[in-house]
A and B are shown apart, each in its own frame.
Chain A
Amino acid sequence: MSALTRRGFVKKSAVAAAGMTAVGTIVAEQADADAVAGAEPVVAYVSNPKKGEISVMAGDREVTVRDRKLAASIVRAGR
């Protein structure tokens, strides 16, 4: 086994950290997927493009999400 140098430690740690980040991303995406698995379709529409308001409807609930970037992206996709 090679001696653990500072440079080697930093390098290995960086790879490990990157790996953990990747694993964390996968875990988070899986968690997102698990959270929506089996869910009823969710309906969303841009209710106020200028304010970036998106109405999200599921079952008998409706909430308004404010996200200018997403709203603008959706509006562009609809053109």
Chain B
Amino acid sequence: MQPEVAIDLPRPAAAAAPLLEVSGVTLQYKTKEHLVTATYRVDFQVYRGDRFVLLGPSGCGKSSLLKGVGGFLRPVEGRIVLNGREIDRPGPDRMMVFQEFDQLLPWRTVRQNVLFPLLASGRLGRAAAERRAAGYIEKVNLGKFAHVYPHMLSGGMKQRVAIARAMAMEPDILLMDEPFAALDALTRRKMQEELLQLWQDTRFTMLFVTHSIEEAIIVGNRILVLSPHPGQVKAELNSHQLGHGSVGSGEFLSLQDRIHGMLFAEQVEQDEVGHHG
């Protein structure tokens, strides 16, 4: 049990301005009967090269926050600023990887799926796009499957394609909405390792949503813990020193317990309120 990937990296000069600045963001969405407040005045900053994790139980608005950054959901209060520009619509500078396997276009092969956003957004010319797509498909170890349609791939492979597609755009920030949640435990672990390896290679910035404490600690270098109904910031913790290699170590377990305590305490409080009311 020794660390395979050295996750511990000195932060770039802390004086650098944040890449993404979320300040006082309240998000609301409508269901058929209700107006639901998903998050209430959430603040956080993501710096270039961060693997920033939004962690919380279901109903804490972490996915809504990601959709807000993606431009799919307008905040009713507060601002989301990326690279000094306020976000007002979806765009290819923030590529999203979803949990669902049906995010790939079924009528395009793996290669065409990776190629499509590059061409559709007019980011690259044909030849350059082809080269870059091939490179990223190779990076996620799908070179042999480049000409296969998505329905013939396993869940893990589909997620790899989605990651390759997002990374090939070389966006300012990668938005990952529980990308490994629907995978089996073995595949999930493998994908986490590959993702960290990719990060080692290219040092992208990502915002990663999960409800798994373990995944948050392994994948992230900084964890934003959110409380549910509505989502509010509970804590921001560091986990850059921890990775796959440190699972089960004292430091890992104590951080896991700390986060568990934060989320669990909330649960107890709520239960008590429920009993009294």
| Chain B associates with chain A | no
